[in-house]
Amino acid sequence: MDKGNGTTVTEFILVGLSEIPEIQQYLFCIFLGIYIITVLGNASIILIYKFSPSLHTPMYYFLSNFSFLEICYVSASSPKMLQNMLVEKKTISFYCCFTQIYSIVHLAGTEFYVLAAMAYDRYNAICHPLLYRIIMNNRVCAQLIAGSWVIGAANSLVHTLLTHTLSFCSNKVNHIFCDVPPLLKLACTDTWINQIVMYMVGGSVTGGAFILIIISYTHILSTILTIHSASGRKKAFSTCTSHLTVVTIFYGSIFFIYLRPKSSYAMHHDRLVAIMYTIVAPLLNPFIYSLRNNDVKAAVRKLLNRRILTWKI
């Protein structure tokens, strides 16, 4: 049915990562393996935190919440992407598409502020070590996590509702999942309001969290430089390297996708970048935070020894 210059869209077609039928099964096996490893890896971080009293600190409280967020994030896009790799008609209903948009944008916005909360935690641990436990008490930690989810939800609601008001000339989404930028490419109506809101609201949410991270690390760096011993400086900075790695991967790919004018979108590039922040980043999270973390490795050894002793008894 005509709707102005557009059509009434009841479903969208997701192009996916590749349109070559011969490689779909191979891609399915690869990304199914990645999805399983991602869920198990992040779930392991949560379980290690839960059953290791030595890790019941603000730092690992945030890490376990971040791991839960990563499980939700990868689950918002991967199952539908995997399903479409096995079927010829790669469709998603109109309302499921917008549910996916809301979920992905919500989780991305939440992740920005959880990363900012983690930076704030490191700032207090390094710059105010004597007051650390008082400042980062259980109530403050819970409020920071709750606030992150609320900001993410509000930001996502604005973008989802604005995109929902558009009429579309085509239903072929040149992407691996439903997202705001690829849907703007399909719009028949002028999208300048959507783009302004995306830059202003989305930029404020993203930039606000990024500024908080920069401020935290500016103070951290200045404090580390005042430490006289080289081993002390190394130990202080080592607690931040994992977090900085995750921030770099996540922010770099998000900035590339969203903070560009519509005219410069190249969806074949954006699909690869989207893989980075929705699939690769959640996959790397448990490895980044555990392989070089002596506390986590010690907790794992204790849990394994406890399990071995239980079996022997």
Q: What is the per-residue pLDDT across 199-255, written as a single tens digit (0 to 9) for each?
A: 888 888 888 999 999 999 999 999 888 887 777 777 777 778 888 888 888 887 777
Question: Burial code of 236-251, b = ≥16 C-beta within 10 A, e = fewer?
Answer: bbebbebbbbbbebbb
CB contact at 8 A, 287 and 202: no
pLDDT above 70 covers a percentage of the chain that reads 90
pLDDT, tens digit, for every residue of 113-126?
999 999 999 999 99
CA 125-70-107 angle, to 5 degrees, is: 95
CATH of the domain at 251: 1.20.1070.10
Q: Is residue 138 one of the residues assigned to a domain?
A: yes
Q: Taking 90 as the threshold, does the pLDDT of residue 290 lie above it? A: no
Q: What pLDDT, on a 0 to 100 scale, did the predictor assign at position 1? A: 39
Give the residue-averaged pLDDT of 23-51: 92
When pLDDT is averaged across residues 53-74 and rounded to a whole number, the result is 92
Element (H, E) at 185: helix 180-186
CB 91 within 8 A of CB 13: yes
How crowded is residue 12: how many other Cβ atoms within 10 Å of its Cβ? 24
Asked whether residue 163 is assigned to any structural domain, the reply reads yes
Query: Residue 146 corresponds to which tokens in the numbers above?
Result: 């709750």
89-140 pLDDT, tens digit per residue, is 889 999 999 999 999 999 999 999 999 999 999 999 999 999 999 999 999 9
Domain of 226, in residue numbers: 8-312
Within a domain: 264: yes
Could you tell me the strand order of the sheet in which 91-93 lies?
Answer: 91-93, 11-14, 172-173
The residues near 156 (Cβ < 8 Å, ≥ 6 apart) are: 101, 102, 103, 105, 106, 109
Any domain includes 56? yes
Residue 50 inside a domain? The answer is yes
Per-residue pLDDT at 2: 45
In a domain? residue 2? no
Alpha helices in 24-174 (DSSP H): 24-50, 58-84, 94-127, 132-135, 138-164
- Within-domain flag for 3: no
- What element of type H or E holds 3? strand 2-3
User: How many domains is the chain partitioned into structurally?
Assistant: 1
In this predicted structure, what is the pLDDT of residue 74?
94
What CA–CA distance (Å, rounded) separates 298 from 278?
30
Question: Is residue 293 domain-resident?
Answer: yes
Neighbouring-strand partners of residue 7: 2, 168
